């Protein structure tokens, strides 16, 4: 029998045979371990698994091949990596211009990760009720940067209801991962999408304070309007996994496009003559903010490898 992991509850998992929502506990048979084992969790929310009944209880016997997954390292120095979620149709990266203030290099790093794993990303600008008037110029600039890079940006507020219906529509029929820093309003958004759900709002978990990420904090919910959402704890550090320095630029869609016209291949888009990416930055086609994030990632790569 097959089912989808909807929660990792520490010593056991919760499964449901999607699209049916009827959650039941299951344990993992000891011998399932990931090869290489720099991965701290063998199974993540969204994984499809094979299970069998052992008396009253379900036992997971196998993990089906993943269509995709999102993985992170706790820090750049860490060898250990953690699978955040598997088989995701779209990632909603939730950021606020204020409270907490978005850091663009941090957002860009998550976007690179989404590109790397082939997961389409939508940026959700949350809490607009708090800065709609004072920050209208900044909102416009933010949208310019990210829509210019090819990402949809949805402005939302759970106070005014702005953008909620748009996200509800987009979520229908898909598995949607909500990701972003702690306190940006991920759980509030999920609650706004479906008020019958009960994700924890405003709670800072002990695990977060310790800087650890336990799998139990990732949880899938069914939306009554259709589709599923995965709530996640706040992400702080986001170390890139599996990207070579020469490849980073390929995961900036606007740079990938421009790079076709660079004089040299490969081109790092830093010092080479005839670099079409640098030309595009000078012409304002590629935003300086995104280009700076790219340079930051190259630098960091130098430090840590």
Which parts of this chain interact with Mg ion (CB under 5 A)?
186-187
Least Å distance between CB 30 and ligand GDP? 34
- Pick 7 or 269: Cβ nearer Zn ion: 269
Query: What 3-state class would DSSP assign to 196?
Result: coil
Binding string, 232-271, against ligand GDP, x = CB under 6 A?
A: --x-------------------------------------
- Pick 128 or 187: Cβ nearer Mg ion: 187
Gap between the Cα atoms of 172 and 169, Å rounded: 6
Least Å distance between CB 229 and ligand GDP? 12
Q: Which does 193 bind (CB under 5 to 8 A by kind): Zn ion, Mg ion, ligand GDP, none?
A: none
**Residue ranges in 275-294 that form contacts with Zn ion under rule CB under 5 A:** 275, 277
Residues forming beta bridges with residue 221, ordered by sequence position:
229
Region of 24 please: left (phi>0), alpha (psi -120 to 50) or beta: beta
Q: What is the CA radius of gyration of the chain?
A: 20
Neighbours of 143 (CB within 10 A): 16
Gap between the Cα atoms of 237 and 232, Å rounded: 14
Q: Which does 159 bind (CB under 5 to 8 A by kind): Mg ion, Zn ion, ligand GDP, none?
A: ligand GDP
Which string of b and e fits 149-160 if b means at least 16 CB within 10 Å? Answer: bebbbbbbbbee
Kindly list the residues in this chain that would bind ligand GDP in the complex (CB under 6 A).
126-127, 129-130, 157-159, 182-188, 201-202, 234
Could you list the residues that contact Zn ion (CB under 5 A)? 262, 267, 269, 275, 277
């Amino acid at each position: 029998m097959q089912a989808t992991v909807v929660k990792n509850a520490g010593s056991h998992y919760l499964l449901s045979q999607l699209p049916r929502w009827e959650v039941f506990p299951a344990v993992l048979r000891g011998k399932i371990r990931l090869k290489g084992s720099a991965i701290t969790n063998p199974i993540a929310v969204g994984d499809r698994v094979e299970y069998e009944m052992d008396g009253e209880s379900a036992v997971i016997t196998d993990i089906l091949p993943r269509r995709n997954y999102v993985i992170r390292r706790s820090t750049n120095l860490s060898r250990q990596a953690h699978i955040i979620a598997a088989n995701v149709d779209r990632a909603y990266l939730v950021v606020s211009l204020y409270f907490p203030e978005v850091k663009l290099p941090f957002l860009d790093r998550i976007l690179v990760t989404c590109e790397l794993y082939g997961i389409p990303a939508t940026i959700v600008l949350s809490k607009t009720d708090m800065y709609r008037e004072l920050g209208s110029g900044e909102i416009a600039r933010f949208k310019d940067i990210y829509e210019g890079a090819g990402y949809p940006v949805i402005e939302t507020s759970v106070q005014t209801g702005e953008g909620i219906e748009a996200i509800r529509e987009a979520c229908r029929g898909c598995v949607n991962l909500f990701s972003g820093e702690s306190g940006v309003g991920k759980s509030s958004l999920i609650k706004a999408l479906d008020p019958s759900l009960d994700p924890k709002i405003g709670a800072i978990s002990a695990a977060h304070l310790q800087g650890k990420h336990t799998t139990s904090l990732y949880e899938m919910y069914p939306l009554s309007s259709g589709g599923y959402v995965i709530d996640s704890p706040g992400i702080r550090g986001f170390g890139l996994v599996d990207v070579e320095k020469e490849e980073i630029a390929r995961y900036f869609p606007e740079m990938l496009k421009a790079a076709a016209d660079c004089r040299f291949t490969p081109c790092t888009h830093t010092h080479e003559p005839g670099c079409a990416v640098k030309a595009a930055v000078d012409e304002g086609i590629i935003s300086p903010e995104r280009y700076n994030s790219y340079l930051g990632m190259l630098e960091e790569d130098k430090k840590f490898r």
